[in-house]
Structure 1
Amino acid sequence: MQPEEVKKMIETGLPGAQVAVNSDDNTHFEALVVCEDFAGKTMVKQHQMVYAALGDSIQANQIHALSLQTYTPQEWETARQS
């Protein structure tokens, strides 16, 4: 699976999210997801929302590993300024 496919799946599952996905081998991915829907949710819940957007791709081993960074737009702005 290509990083662009993973990006589109996350964007479809989390409309309005800003998403960046990288991979060196197309099975291990790093994703940065900035979404207003994350506001007030724990990091675990935010990650569950991203995993839900990916559907069966993880169970089907199309995605072997996924490293996530999730932020609200406000958190992302603060993190970028640090």
Structure 2
Amino acid sequence: MAVTVEALSARLQQAFVGDKVDVTGDGYHFQVTIVSSRFTGLRAVQKQQHVYAAVQDWIASGELHALSMRTFTPEEWSTNGNNAG
């Protein structure tokens, strides 16, 4: 069973309560943008690890096939994130 945009969005919103979470995709390839203060001081790979931790079971089962992500602190988002394509 493939993951839906709605299911992925709900899962990430539970993991990142109160943060900006935006999910788009077609059921196989998903694009995620998350803006969270928990990313402050983390390198890009560490930010991605936080996101992957929330969906690891879906990745392991093969339900989630492709996930690209953009992760920002609120400061990064206000500086350049919301202007990046």
Structure-2-length-normalised TM-score:
0.87
- Say what the alpha-carbon RMSD is for the aligned residues: 1.4
Query: Take 2:40 and 2:18, find their aligned partners in 1: how far apart are those partners?
Result: 13
Unaligned runs of 5+ residues in structure 2 are none
Quote the residue 2:25 is aligned against.
Answer: 23
C-alpha distance after superposition, 1:28-63 (max 9, x if no partner): 111001111000011100000000011301111111
Question: In the comparison of the two structures, how many residue pairs are matched?
Answer: 81
Percent pairwise identity: 35
Query: Take 1:6 and 1:71, find their aligned partners in 2: how far apart are those partners?
Result: 18
- Checking the alignment, whether the CA contact within 8 Å between 1:7 and 1:21 is kept in structure 2 is yes
Residue 76 in 1 paired to residue 68 in 2? no
> Any runs of at least 4 consecutive aligned residues in structure 1 with deviations exceeding 4 A, and if so which?
none
Quote the residue 1:4 is aligned against.
Answer: 6
Quote the residue 2:16 is aligned against.
Answer: 14
Structure-1-length-normalised TM-score:
0.90
How do residues 35-74 of structure 1 correspond to structure 2 at under 5 angstroms? 35-74=36-75
Aligned letter for 1:19? V
Query: Take 2:19 and 2:62, find their aligned partners in 1: how far apart are those partners?
Result: 24
Give the superposition deviation at 1:75: 0.5
Unaligned runs of 5+ residues in structure 1 are none
